[in-house]
């Protein structure tokens, strides 16, 4: 495929460079004095919300009388408790019913919904101020970082996989949906040319049909950038390509969209309006299949510059499965640490997991991992954290989250001046406990990798569940070699079990005393994770937010994996 530069690529690059340099300059100036930046940020947030319901209840006006940064921070800690979502739910509910000035001035721009710790989902408010100061500014710097790392990244088209911008509305009419969908919907007009498909494509209800439409539109183009948070999405894209490659070619040749898969008529009409016959590209794609058999992204997108995706934490296992499918010249840009509740910063360097946090936009506090069980932990400021140490992060945002516990364990990886960079390690609650062993997901993952080395048997996917009724763990494996026998899989578990005993003294004690029984072993069908994910998406999970812990105590998800055991089918 010949390189096909999008119309106005130079304008896109120029505009993003101008705003990016401005944002980087602001970040670097603020980062020279973390205490000053955090004082200004906290004062601005409290001043804006001092007359709200929450601000009056927690005496924001009195806190603001502090004469020094240290006094301000101390007063804030004293007056305002550390919160989780359930502590704030009643305030959010008042906003949802149309009441203004509860957590923040006015009403939210939208809500971003995500799963919670109870049956009810979290409705995370996104204010106009937060959207402009955090998402808009960070996106500008993110795009600028991509240009600095790969100057040709916006020469071709961008394939961006996001959620629905609008999924519904609160009782007062305020919409809720995907913040990634809203961000893409609201990109500047001059960047619209980068996207081969309209946002309507993400509203296709059928999981497989949606991927078909995305890939049919994308594979025709010279794609130079892919943006999708979850690397499992890249696997789904390639699986769809493997299954429907010949139909893509026919559609591209004729300028059509296959009717084999259910695409709603109104969305089909929008997509088909963008299509026209392209026999030249169809011939190229046929030739690729004749040459390679299985056609991969490095074949049909040879000019790919960057893939922006998570590849640390639990997502690493899925990233490893797909990374070699892309051109050698392609860089992988870590999506960085962020969650629905807060986007604390961005990654500036490709092939790095380090997120630099924006101390001039968000107020940060930290609890060291050694004190997570303490009733009165020491609270560290942003300027007090140390490289190599791990902390739970507490944030205060302009979207009404005050001293909000992110419940994530992060590691400080370095600093840009005085602003820390960090990476996600795991959820703080990524601990499973049947009988006091407190087994960490990280320990389980490391034990699996150690067992791989010892046995020589590699796993394509694995997951573990705690079964309290049996006082045992049940480990599920999909091996790279699909001919692995049950006997060999059980030996793998025995090796894994020994490593868990080494890594966790409480696990060893409970196993030695038989309070924990021998772990059980199950072999999964091929593409087990992809099948599990497809089932979850069909049940209403949003693709971009889809995550799965690799060690859980969750009966519903456990039941779904029991259905994917080889002998169960």
The residue ranges of every structural domain in the chain are 32-125, 129-334, 361-427, 431-568
Instruction: Name the range with the highest mean pLDDT among 328-337, 348-357, 358-367, 535-544.
Output: 358-367
Residue 189 pLDDT exceeds 80:
no
User: What's the whole-number average pLDDT of the chain?
Assistant: 91
Please tell me which residue, 431 or 525, carries the higher pLDDT value.
Answer: 525
Beta strands per DSSP E along 336-403: 345-347, 355-357, 363-368, 390-396
- Spell out a b/e string for 257-286, using b for 16 or more CB atoms within 10 Å of the CB, else e: bbeebebeeebbeebeeebeebeebbebbb
Residue 323 pLDDT exceeds 80:
yes
- As a whole number, mean pLDDT of residues 491-506 equals 94
Confidence of residue 545 (pLDDT cuts 50, 70, 90): low
Residue 119 pLDDT exceeds 60:
no
Q: What is the pLDDT of residues 59-70, one digit of tens each?
A: 999 999 999 999
Paired residues of 440 in beta bridges: 431
Residue 118 pLDDT exceeds 60:
no
* Residue-level pLDDT at 117: 52
- Give Cβ neighbours of residue 375 (< 8 Å, ≥ 6 apart): none
φ, ψ for residue 32, nearest 5 deg: -70, -20
Q: Are strands 223-227 and 157-160 parallel, antiparallel or unpaired?
A: parallel
Count the alpha carbons within 13 Å of 526 in the hemisphere toward its beta carbon. Answer: 6
Q: Are strands 472-479 and 520-523 parallel, antiparallel or unpaired?
A: parallel
Confidence of residue 533 (pLDDT cuts 50, 70, 90): confident
Residue 343 pLDDT exceeds 50:
yes
Residue 116 pLDDT exceeds 70:
no
Can you tell me which residue has the tokens 């494509």? 201
Q: What is the pLDDT of residues 363-390, one digit of tens each?
A: 999 999 989 888 899 999 999 999 999 9
Confidence of residue 529 (pLDDT cuts 50, 70, 90): confident
* Residue-level pLDDT at 543: 61
Helix and strand counts by DSSP (H, E) for the chain = 20, 20
Answer whether 58's CB lies under 8 Å from 80's CB.
yes
Alpha carbon distances (Å) from 181 to 9, 200, 202, 206: 23, 10, 9, 18
* Residue-level pLDDT at 289: 97
* Residue-level pLDDT at 379: 97
Residue 257 pLDDT exceeds 90:
yes
Paired residues of 393 in beta bridges: 366
* Residue-level pLDDT at 115: 61
- Distance, C-alpha 298 to centroid of its chain: 24
- Please state, as a whole number, how many other Cβ atoms lie within 10 Å of the Cβ of residue 558: 17
Answer whether 165's CB lies under 8 Å from 199's CB.
yes
Q: How far apart are CA 247 and CA 6, in angstroms?
A: 26
Please tell me which residue, 104 or 547, carries the higher pLDDT value.
Answer: 104
Please tell me which residue, 232 or 129, carries the higher pLDDT value.
Answer: 129
Answer whether 381's CB lies under 8 Å from 396's CB.
no
Q: Are strands 122-126 and 110-114 parallel, antiparallel or unpaired?
A: antiparallel
Residue 569 pLDDT exceeds 50:
no
Range in 269-283, 373-387, 391-405, 427-441 with the lowest mean pLDDT = 427-441
Residue 538 pLDDT exceeds 80:
no
- As a whole number, mean pLDDT of residues 159-186 equals 87
Q: How far apart are CA 241 and CA 247, in angstroms?
A: 9
DSSP calls for 446-488:
HHHHHHHHHH---EEEEEEEEETTTTEEEEEEEESSTT--HHH
Q: How far apart are CA 84 and CA 156, in angstroms?
A: 43
Q: What is the pLDDT of residues 192-243, one digit of tens each?
A: 888 888 888 988 988 889 999 999 999 999 999 999 888 888 888 898 999 9
Alpha-helical runs (H) found in 204-264: 207-219, 231-254
Q: How far apart are the first and last CA of the chain?
A: 42
Answer whether 481's CB lies under 8 Å from 457's CB.
yes
- As a whole number, mean pLDDT of residues 14-41 equals 96
- As a whole number, mean pLDDT of residues 400-407 equals 95
Q: How far apart are CA 125 and CA 399, in angstroms?
A: 6
- pLDDT above 70 covers a percentage of the chain that reads 96
φ, ψ for residue 517, nearest 5 deg: -80, 170
Residue 312 pLDDT exceeds 90:
no
Q: How far apart are CA 265 and CA 204, in angstroms?
A: 10
- As a whole number, mean pLDDT of residues 282-304 equals 96
Please tell me which residue, 415 or 408, carries the higher pLDDT value.
Answer: 415
3-state secondary structure of 366: strand
Count the helix, strand and coil residues of the chain and give each as a percent rounded to the nearest 5. 45, 20, 35
């Amino acid at each position: 495929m010949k390189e096909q530069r999008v119309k106005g690529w130079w304008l896109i690059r120029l505009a993003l460079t101008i705003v990016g340099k401005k944002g980087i300059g602001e970040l670097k100036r603020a980062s020279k004095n973390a205490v000053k930046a955090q004082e200004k940020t906290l004062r601005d947030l409290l001043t804006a919300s001092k007359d709200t319901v929450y601000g009056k209840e927690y005496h924001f006006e009195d806190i603001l009388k502090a004469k020094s940064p240290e006094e301000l921070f101390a007063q804030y800690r004293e007056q305002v408790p550390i919160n989780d979502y359930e502590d704030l739910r009643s305030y959010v509910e008042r906003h949802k019913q149309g009441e203004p000035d509860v957590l923040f001035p006015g009403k939210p721009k939208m809500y971003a919904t995500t799963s919670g710790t109870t049956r009810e989902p979290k409705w995370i408010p996104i204010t106009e101020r937060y959207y402009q100061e955090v998402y808009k500014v960070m996106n500008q710097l993110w795009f600028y970082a991509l240009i600095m790392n790969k100057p040709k990244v916006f020469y071709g088209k961008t394939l961006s996989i996001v959620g629905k911008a609008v999924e519904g509305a609160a009782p007062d009419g305020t919409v809720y949906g995907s913040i990634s969908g809203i961000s893409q919907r609201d990109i500047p007009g001059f960047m619209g040319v980068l996207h081969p498909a309209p946002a309507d494509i993400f509203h296709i209800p059928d999981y497989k049909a949606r991927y078909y439409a995305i890939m049919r539109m994308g594979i025709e183009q010279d794609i130079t950038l892919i943006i999708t948070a979850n690397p499992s999405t890249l696997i789904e894209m390639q699986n769809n390509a493997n299954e429907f490659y010949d139909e893509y070619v026919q559609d591209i040749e004729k300028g059509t969209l296959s009717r084999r898969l259910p695409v709603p008529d109104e969305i089909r009409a929008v997509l088909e309006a963008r299509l026209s016959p392209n026999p030249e590209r169809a011939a190229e794609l046929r030739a690729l299949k004749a040459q390679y058999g299985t056609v991969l992204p490095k074949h049909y997108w040879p000019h790919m510059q960057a893939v922006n995706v998570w590849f640390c934490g639990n997502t690493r296992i899925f990233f490893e499965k797909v990374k070699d499918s892309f051109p050698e010249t392609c860089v992988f840009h870590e999506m960085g640490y962020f969650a629905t509740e807060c986007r604390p910063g961005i990654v500036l360097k490709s092939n790095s997991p380090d997120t630099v946090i924006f101390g001039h936009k968000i107020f940060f506090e930290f609890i060291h991992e050694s004190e997570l069980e303490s009733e009165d932990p020491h609270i560290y400021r942003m300027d007090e954290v140390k490289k190599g140490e791990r902390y739970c992060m507490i944030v205060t945002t302009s979207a009404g989250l005050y001293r909000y516990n992110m419940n994530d364990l992060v590691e400080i990886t370095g600093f840009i001046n005085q602003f820390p960079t960090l990476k996600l390690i795991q959820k703080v609650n990524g601990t499973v406990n049947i009988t006091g062993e407190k087994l960490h997901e990280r320990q389980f993952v490391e034990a699996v990798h150690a067992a791989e080395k010892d046995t020589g048997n590699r796993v394509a996917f694995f997951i573990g569940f705690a079964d309290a009724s049996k006082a045992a763990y049940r480990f599920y494996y999909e091996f790279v070699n699909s001919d692995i026998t049950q006997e060999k899989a059980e030996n793998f578990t025995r090796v894994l079990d020994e490593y868990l005993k080494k890594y966790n003294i409480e696990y060893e004690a409970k196993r030695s005393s038989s309070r924990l029984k021998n772990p059980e072993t199950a072999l999964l069908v091929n593409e087990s994770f992809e099948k599990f994910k497809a089932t979850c998406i069909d049940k209403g999970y949003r693709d971009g937010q889809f995550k799965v812990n690799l060690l859980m105590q969750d009966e519903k998800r456990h039941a779904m994996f029991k259905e994917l055991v080889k002998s169960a089918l």
